Amino acid sequence: MFVKICGITSEDDALLAVAMGADALGFVFAPSSRQVAAGHVRDIVRRLPPEILTLGVFRDEAPQRVVEQVQTAGLGGAQLHGHETPEDARFVRARVGFLVQAFPAGADALRRSDEWGADVILIDSPTPGSGQVFDWSLAEGAPSGRRILLAGGLTPDNVGDAIARVRPWGVDVSSGVESSPGRKDPRKVRAFVAAAKAAGEDLEHDHAPTGALYDWQEEGG
């Protein structure tokens, strides 16, 4: 189970999340209480192991500006979290090398998400970064055979149920592992990563493969 910890604002929190087993870190460039500047992110990213995927999170930003910010910060890719068109997404993907495209759960566009050409499809609540949980049955609209990242109000207490229900490729969290906006709580980060990884192992031992995770694995992902 791939685990992304989002809304990182400090080197301490970045290193903490990595030490706890996170696979990816997100840095929010969109207006937010967690917003960070490219220069600050660059200083953090330099200290991280190269295998950690680092993503800049944007919302309705001009595609060329997304590319500039990702490159300035030395990030591994972009996460687009607004109303980007497939053309915007493909422009960014071609220039930054890795793209996560977010869709609100239940949105019609989710069924057409292949058009955005993203490496990973993120399913989130309609208000990103709010800690709001959505009805997980709405995630069923996602295309099969794709890497699905699930977000939206996940916490150490509910991430296991969410994984069992949605069967995603990975999970993404911000609010649910914070002590205050923009500050991570070490105990929550540890508990979240452990619960997500344990639930992922349970999925692997489950002999009734039906979800997107299994579709992707069967295709050799």
Ligand X SMILES: O=C(O)c1ccccc1N[C@@H]1O[C@H](COP(=O)(O)O)[C@@H](O)[C@H]1O
* Catalytic residue set: 6, 124
Among 6, 99, 163, 191, binds ligand X (CB under 6 A): 6
80-119 footprint of ligand X as x/- string (CB under 6 A): -x--------------------------------------
Q: Which is nearer to ligand X, 179 or 210 (CB)?
A: 179
Amino acid at position 9, single letter: T
Which listed residue (8, 25, 30, 41) binds ligand X by CB under 6 A? 30
Whole-number Cα distances in Å, 106 to 136, 158, 159, 166, 181? 9, 20, 19, 13, 27
Site for ligand X, residues 179 to 198, rule: CB under 6 A: none
Q: Does 200 contact ligand X by CB under 6 A?
A: no
Stretch of 64-72, 87-95, 127-135, 201-209 contacting ligand X, by CB under 6 A? 127-135
Q: Does 130 bind ligand X (CB under 6 A)?
A: yes
Is residue 57 involved in binding ligand X (CB under 6 A)? yes
Cβ 11 to ligand X, closest distance in Å?
A: 18
Please give the full DSSP string across the chain, using - where no structure is assigned. Answer: -EEEE----SHHHHHHHHHTT-SEEEEE-SSSTTB--HHHHHHHHTTS-TTSEEEEEESS--HHHHHHHHHHHT-SEEEE-S---HHHHHHHHHHHS-EEEEEETT-GGGGGGGGG--SEEEEE-SSTTS-----GGGGGGSPTTS-EEE-SS--TTTHHHHHHHH--SEEEESGGGEEETTEE-HHHHHHHHHHHHHHHHHHHH-S---SHHHHHHHTT-
**Given candidates 28, 48, 78, 139, which one binds ligand X under the rule CB under 6 A?**
28
Smallest distance from ligand X to CB 210, Å: 24
Number of residues that bind ligand X (CB under 6 A): 26
Q: Which residue ranges make up the site for ligand X (CB under 6 A)?
A: 6-7, 26, 28, 30, 32, 34, 57, 59, 79, 81, 122, 124, 128-131, 151-154, 172-176
